[in-house]
Amino acid sequence: MRVDLRRAINAVSDVVQNRPRPLREFDQIHMKSGDMVLQSEMVADWADGKRLAFIGDGDAISVCVAYMKRRGVLNFGPSKITVFDFDERTVQAVKRFADKERIENLDAELYNCFDAFPSVTKYDCFYTNPPWGQYNDGESVNLFVERGIEAVGYDGDGMVVIADDDELAWPKHVLARVQAFSRERGFYVSKMQRKLHTYHLDDAPDLCSCNLYVSALAENKANVVPSQPATPQRLANFYGRSKELRVKYVREKKVLNYGMAHEDEYSLELLKGTP
Domain edges within the chain: 5-240
- The mean-pLDDT minimum among 40-44, 56-60, 211-215, 218-222 falls in 218-222
pLDDT confidence tier of residue 25, bands split at 50, 70 and 90: confident
The beta-strand segments (E) located in 141-202 are 157-164, 187-197
Helices (H), 152-270: 170-184
Q: For 184-242, what is each residue's pLDDT tens digit?
A: 999 999 999 999 999 988 878 889 999 999 999 988 876 788 899 999 888 888 888 77
Range with the lowest mean pLDDT among 98-107, 160-169, 231-240, 263-272?
263-272
What pLDDT does residue 33 have? 94
Q: Please state, for a pLDDT cut of 70, what percent of the chain lies above it.
A: 93
> Is residue 158's pLDDT more than 80?
yes
CA dist list (Å): 134 to 28, 60, 172, 182, 242: 14, 23, 10, 18, 12
Beta carbons within 8 Å of 102's beta carbon, 6+ residues apart: 70
Number of CB atoms found within 10 A of residue 96's CB: 15
Counting beta carbons within 10 angstroms of the beta carbon of residue 105, is it exposed (0 to 12), middle (13 to 18) or buried (19 or more)? Answer: middle
pLDDT score recorded for residue 120: 77
The model's confidence at residue 123, banded by pLDDT at 50, 70 and 90, is very high
Span of 64-73, 227-236, 266-275 with lowest mean pLDDT:
266-275
What is the rounded CA–CA span in Å between residue 57 and residue 107?
12
> What would the pLDDT profile of 230-263 be if each residue is shown by its tens digit?
998 888 888 887 777 788 899 998 765 666 666 6
Which amino acid is residue 65, in one-letter code?
V
Which of helix, strand or coil describes residue 165? coil
The CATH class of the 5-240 domain is alpha beta
The span from the CA of 213 to the CA of 11, in Å, is 26
Task: Give pTM, 2 decimals.
Answer: 0.92
Which pLDDT value is given to residue 10? Answer: 97
